[in-house]
């Protein structure tokens, strides 16, 4: 009788646990597809703008096109490597990797490509049992799952500004890429 009870309990547990674990895996798979497409689209946007227009900004207090691009890189690095991966954060004020400084368009695009690739690698290895772990995010408790979503929103926000800058310079942005 005791063996039947144990077997029944194990079967019920596996029926409940299996879909939950599968959902977490699907979240990461879906997120990776979205991030890959976001990378492709951002690089198309960055390539579209002529290098001589990389210093364009819509208003004096706005980021330039180049600053938006590099800010996206910094945010990807911070969200993925520091918040999700546990690495010490870069200091925005002293960081040189994600500052425009004297970087060429080609160097900035290469930096963005490398940063996306590093984030994608980290996310592929991410332990999905940590998705519900909470972190302090600017004074708010947010799960790591929410951090993934916040990163996607942040990329979209700054890329949207870049798309407007392209239009303000009389260019037609690349066609929207789905699932990102």
Does the annotation place 157 within a ligand binding site? Answer: no
**Secondary structure of residue 97 in the 3-state scheme:** coil
- pTM score, whole prediction: 0.85
Residue-wise pLDDT tens digits, 100-129: 999 999 999 999 999 999 999 999 999 999
Count CB-CB contacts under 10 A for residue 112.
20
Asked if residue 158 belongs to a known ligand binding site, the reply is: yes
Closest Cα partner for 64 from 52, 73, 72, 55?
55
For the chain, the average pLDDT equals 90
69-89 confidence digits (pLDDT tens): 999 999 999 999 999 999 999
Q: Is 79 annotated as a binding residue?
A: no
**DSSP annotation of 134:** E
Provide the pLDDT for residue 7. 60
CB 28 within 8 A of CB 128: yes
Greater pLDDT, 172 or 3: 172
Domains of the chain with bracketed CATH: 23-168 (1.20.120.450)
Supply the pLDDT for residue 3: 66
Between helix 65-77 and helix 2-48 the angle, nearest 10°, is 160
């Amino acid at each position: 009788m005791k063996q039947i009870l144990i077997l029944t309990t194990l079967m019920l547990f596996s029926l409940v646990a299996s879909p939950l674990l599968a959902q977490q895996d699907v979240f990461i798979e879906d997120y990776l597809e979205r991030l890959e497409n976001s990378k492709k689209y951002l690089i198309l946007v960055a390539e579209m703008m002529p290098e001589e227009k990389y210093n364009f900004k819509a208003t004096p207090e706005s980021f330039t096109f180049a600053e938006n691009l590099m800010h996206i890189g910094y945010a990807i690095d911070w969200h993925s490597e520091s918040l999700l991966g546990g690495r010490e954060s870069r200091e925005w004020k002293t960081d040189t990797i994600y500052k425009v400084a004297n970087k060429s368009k080609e160097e900035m695009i290469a930096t963005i490509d490398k940063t996306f690739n590093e984030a994608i690698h980290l996310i592929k290895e991410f332990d999905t049992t940590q998705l519900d772990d909470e972190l302090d995010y600017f004074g708010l408790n947010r799960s790591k799952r929410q951090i993934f979503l916040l990163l996607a929103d942040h990329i979209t926000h700054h890329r949207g500004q870049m798309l407007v800058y392209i239009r303000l310079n009389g260019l037609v942005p690349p066609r929207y890429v789905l699932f990102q």
